Amino acid sequence: MKVLIVGSGGREHAIAYAVAKSKRVDKIYCAPGNAGIAELAECVDIGAMEMERLADFAQEKAVDLTIIGMDDPLVAGIVDVFEARGLRVFGPRKNAAILEGSKAFSKDLMKKYHIPTAAYENFDSAEAALAYLETGRYPIVLKADGLALGKGVLICNTLEEAKDGIRELMIDKKFGSAGDKIVIEEFMTGREVSVLCYCDGTHILPMTSAQDHKRAKDGDQGLNTGGMGTFSPSPFYTKEVDEFCREHIYQPSMDAMKAEGRDFVGVMFVGLMLTEDGPKVLEYNARFGDPEAQVVLPRMKNDIIDVMEAAIDGKLDTIDLQFEDNACVCVVLASDGYPLSYEKSKLITGMENFKDKDGYYLFHAGTKQTPEGVVTNGGRVLGVTAKGADLKQARENAYAATEWVSFENKYMRHDIGKAIDEA
């Protein structure tokens, strides 16, 4: 069968890797793709938001399945565009992708259906938000309602910081229209865990757990980023936590969307905070996480095509989802200066060191092929990923592998997965 993947980051490279392992697939396209994905797929110069052009391409090439990797086209309704053409596509429709597209919507949904989350209020007026801050307890959390590249969440320790945050989001419009409306919520403490779930509108299959590192610098310092590294599984996500989440969070979230007439088909990413009062939802996403996919998909035993087709057909209850009994760590190699200003077009060397190395992966994020070779083309450049018998070994393997590849201004955190030493 022919498969089209929409996106160009490390997540899409991890998806392409999983799709390439399927015995059912003989041709992979990716739009627009990157230099690493080009080793597995034919990259097509169509942007992820060019929805009609993508649908035209899928029809022209008789693509059997399209997988949407990115949040922007999902929230904009790309699945609806494909389905209107009779094309088979994996991902939530626009009315379900709102679960990620609007934090205010998702918070209201959780309140209505009694899904555990932080106390909050929604605001569409900067004046009202500023007045509310005077009554708040600190630290406090500000969240842009819309999509903000994973960076629209501000943790404010003081009233003054919070006021600055309101100005940044709602008045200065740092993230554009994403800040037209904001959520102000209580600050929760505990361990953060991510669980990605396959969904078919009725049934939900949680994958193995993962933990992301959002801050740019070691010790969780610096600015929020799209993610500087991940590990899987989380030692803090115990059997008891899993059972609670399945009963009180995952299935209720699926049921809530169905009750609202917004059947969710695709991947529901549930960001959790393991608080003293039990697990609570931090946020939802409507697709694979990045870089969570890079540590979850290499551990999945199932054929990804079988799982995705079962989701589309409402038959996830026939799938026995299984993961390897090991661990995986991803360390993001970024361009120094990320997530603010950074230089591009730096030549990358040493990538051949990953060839035929079992249990090691080099997932490309911001890369581009040029006549001179593969060069950096983004803030997050590569995801150096490795498996191990346990998290400690996987971490050692991943950090050893970061030395195999080089580019000017290479930057990374040195404490990805360090929390495992405290477990």
Q: Along the chain (423 residues), what's the average pLDDT of each consecutive run of 10 residues?
A: 98 98 98 97 98 98 98 98 98 98 96 97 95 93 88 90 95 93 95 97 98 94 92 97 98 98 98 97 97 98 98 98 98 96 97 96 97 97 98 97 98 90 58
- What are the tokens at 352? 């051949």
How far from chain centre, in Å, is Cα 289? 2
* pLDDT computed for residue 423 by the predictor: 53
- 3-state SS of 298-332 is HHECCCHHHHHHHHHCCCHHHCCCCECCCEEEEEE
Cα–Cα distance for residue pair 17/184, rounded to 1 Å: 39
List of domains in the chain: 2-90 (3.40.50.20), 119-186 (3.30.1490.20), 191-318 (3.30.470.20), 327-422 (3.90.600.10)
* pLDDT computed for residue 152 by the predictor: 86
Rounded (5°) CA angle 183-212-119? 25
How far from chain centre, in Å, is Cα 243? 23
For the entire predicted model, the pTM comes to 0.95
* pLDDT computed for residue 149 by the predictor: 74
Spatial CB neighbours of 234, under 8 Å, sequence gap ≥ 6 = 191, 193, 209, 210, 211
**For residue 152, how many other CB atoms are within 10 A of its CB?**
22
* pLDDT computed for residue 4 by the predictor: 98
Q: Which of 94, 116, 108, 107 is nearest to 250 (CA)?
A: 116
The amino acid present at 34, given as its one-letter code, is: N
Spatial CB neighbours of 76, under 8 Å, sequence gap ≥ 6 = 49, 51, 94
**For residue 337, how many other CB atoms are within 10 A of its CB?**
13
The amino acid present at 113, given as its one-letter code, is: Y
Beta bridge partner(s), residue 224: 215
Cα–Cα distance for residue pair 162/155, rounded to 1 Å: 8
